[in-house]
Amino acid sequence: MKVNRLTPVLVVDRIEPCLAFWVDRLGFSKTAEVPHGDRLGFIILERDDIQLMYQTAASIADDVGPLEGFPLGGTALFIVVDDLDAIQSAMNGVQPLIPRRTTFYGADELIFREPGGNVVTFAQFAAANATV
């Protein structure tokens, strides 16, 4: 199994106030965004070989119920792998936060809490969707 990318997911109350810091000052580009109600609920920012994601706590609660109450200022890890079955095998006996799922953005995902309490999402994309 190959790990292709690790991306931090920064959890905030509102995404919009964070954009000037990354986009205007540091030259990151918005490569994906998902609304949640009348605000942004999720966004991917990229520059050079760096990627980071923001997601609101409200969006997390709606998307992954077991993560409701995720702390503001918290960070989760999003790890893209080439073989999610190998991850599932390696994690045999560890209860995922939610059952394996396919997301609307085309990822096959497994989400766990590591022993320190941090959330780790492992995702595999079909070759045509490998851009997230």
Determine contact, residues 60/42, Cβ cutoff 8 Å.
no
Counting every residue written for the chain, the total comes to: 132
Domain count, the chain: 1
Neighbour count for residue 94 (Cβ, 10 Å):
12
* Element at 110 (helix H, strand E): strand 107-113
> Does residue 128 carry a pLDDT above 80?
no
Q: What is the CATH number of the domain that holds 124?
A: 3.10.180.10
Give the pLDDT confidence of 26-57 residue by residue, as tens digits: 899 999 999 999 999 999 999 999 999 999 99
Q: What is the dihedral of CA 16, 20, 21, 23, to 10 degrees?
A: 100
**pLDDT band at residue 68, thresholds of 50, 70 and 90?**
confident
pTM above 0.85, yes or no: no
Distance CA 42, CA 22 (A): 15
- Write out the residue range of the structural domain in which residue 24 sits: 3-129
Whole-angstrom distance, CA of residue 97 vs CA of residue 11: 17
State how far the alpha carbon of 54 is from the alpha carbons of 83, 107, 130, in Å.
25, 17, 19
Consecutive H or E run containing 113: strand 107-113
